[in-house]
Amino acid sequence: MTVQHPQVALFEPEELAVITLPVCDHYAGVHQRMQKSLRLQARMGPVFDVTLDNEDGAPVGAELEQAQHIAELLDSAENRYGRVGVRLLPLVHPRFGDVLSEVLKAQRRPAYLMLPKARGLADVQAAVAAIDAAIDAATATAIETAINTAIDTPIQAAGAGQVPVHALVETHGALREVAAIAALPRVQSLSFGLMDFVSAHRGAVPQWAMSAQGQFDHPLVVRAKLEIAAACHAHGKVPSHCVVTEFKDLVALREAADKAADLLGYTRMWSIHPAQIQPILEAFAPSQAELEQAIRILQAAQQAGWAPISHRSTAEGTAHDTLHDRASYRYFWQLLVRAQKTAFVGGPQLPPEVRAAWFA
C-alpha cells in the first residue's frame, strides 16, 4: 500500500490554495522602533511579520520621508526573511500614489501592502490597480537604469510579479462588502480596525467597546469580527484580529488573543509593542497535549491508509474511545500546520521525525 502524505490524502487540490501566514503581525511606525522590530524578527525567526507603518502609526506630514525610510529598511540586511510588509496611506489621501512609488523603489518588494480605510470593494479594486501600475513603472525604471548603466540590476526584486494585498475592514462600506473583498484573488488577509470602526458610529458605540474586554462584549463589534472571520474562511483567506491598546497589560492581551483564536476563528493578530509578540504566538499555538494527540491520530490514520480509526484517549483518569475519519483528520492536520507556523523558542515543537516526514 502506498503511504500518502496527509495533504494528498485529505484535501482536494483547490483546498490546498488556502493561504497561511505567520500568526502575529507586528506594527511599527517610528524609525527607531521599525529598526528594532526587524532586529527582533531576525533573532526570533519568521514566526511573526513586521508591518512598517506609513499611516496611523507614523508621523503626520512626513509621509514621503517615511516611505523613503521604509524602502531603505526593505533593502537592509535586517530584512532577513522577506516577511516585511508596508501599511500605505488610504486610497483617498493626496499622497497615496507618491508614497506607493517611493516604497516600490526598494530593490526588495514588500511581502504585502496593507490598505487602510477602504470604503468598500471599489476602493480595494482601485488600490490594486494603482499598485499594479506603480509596479509596472518601477520595473520599467529598473530596466532603463540597467540598460543605461550597463549593469545587472535585480529587476525581479524591484517589483516584478504581483504584491499581495491585505486590507483593513474599519468602515461601514467595507464591512457591508466584506465577502466580495475577501473573494478578490489579490487579497491575502483582512484585518479588523477596531478603533476606526467604533469611531465610525459617531458616538453611538461607547468608548469601552475599544477596550481589551469590551471589544468582545459589544454586539456591533462582535458582529463585525464574526463577519470578517466568516468571509475570510469562506474564501481561503486569513482573518487578522485587531490590536489591544493596553499594551502593558499582558494578561488582558493573552485573554483577548485566546478569545480571538478559540471563539471567533481568527488565525492572526496585530501587535503594537514587542512585549505583545510572545503572548500572541503562545495563544495561537496548539498546546503540547493537543500537538501530541494530533500526531498520534494522524500517524495511526496514515498506517490505516486514511480509513476510519478508533483512538483511545485518557482525560482525568478516564479512558475514552473516539472514532476518527478524514473529516477529523483534516482538523488535526491543520493543527500541525499551525504548530509549524508558530514554532518559537519555548513553544511547542514538532518532533524531528514528524518534520522530516511531513514538512521537509
Residue 221 resides in a domain: yes
Say if 208 falls within a structural domain: yes
**Domain-located, residue 223:** yes
Q: What digits encode the pLDDT tens for the residues 292-324? A: 999 999 999 999 999 999 988 776 666 678 999
Tell me how many degrees the CA angle 97-105-161 measures, rounded to the nearest 5.
85
Question: Do residues 70 and 55 make contact, with C-beta atoms less than 8 angstroms apart?
Answer: no
Do 271 and 328 reside in the same domain of the chain?
no
Please give the sequence-ordered ranges of beta strands (E in DSSP) within the chain, or none if there are none: 24-28, 48-53, 84-87, 113-115, 165-169, 187-192, 238-241, 268-271, 309-315, 318-324
Percentage of the chain surpassing pLDDT 70? 91
Name the β-bridge partners of 51.
Answer: 27, 85
> How many CB atoms neighbour CB 81 within 10 A?
15
- Counting the structural domains of the chain, the total is 2
**Do 200 and 79 reside in the same domain of the chain?**
yes
User: In terms of domains, do 220 and 324 share one?
Assistant: no
- Please indicate, yes or no, whether residues 314 and 199 belong to a single structural domain of this protein: no
Are 166 and 198 within one domain?
Answer: yes
In a domain? residue 4: no
- CA-angle at 229, arms to 224 and 233, nearest 5°: 150
pLDDT at 159: 38
Could you tell me if residue 271 is inside a domain? Answer: yes
**Mean of pLDDT values over 8-25:** 86
Are residue 199 and residue 90 in the same domain, yes or no?
Answer: yes
Q: What is the structure's pLDDT at 156?
A: 42
Q: What pLDDT is stored for residue 143 in this prediction?
A: 64
pLDDT tens digits, one per residue of 84-119:
999 999 999 999 999 999 999 999 999 999 999 999
Residues 231 and 260: beta-carbon distance below 8 Å = no
333 and 210 in one domain? no
Domain that holds residue 206: 9-284
Query: Is the per-residue pLDDT at 204 higher than 60?
Result: yes
pTM for the structure as a whole: 0.88
- Same structural domain for residues 300 and 181? no
Task: Establish if 2 belongs to a structural domain.
Answer: no
What average pLDDT does range 109-138 have in this prediction? 96
DSSP at 161: S
pLDDT score, position 2: 66
pLDDT in tens, 235-251: 999 999 999 989 889 99
* Predicted pLDDT of residue 162: 86
User: Which of these, 206, 200, 205, 208, lies nearest to 245 by C-alpha position?
Assistant: 208
pLDDT at 345: 64
Of 284, 301, 330, at which residue does a domain stop?
Answer: 284
- Residue 58: its pLDDT value, please? 82
Q: Say if residue 309 is in the same domain as residue 240.
A: no
Domain membership flag for residue 130? yes
Classify residue 255: in a domain, yes or no.
yes
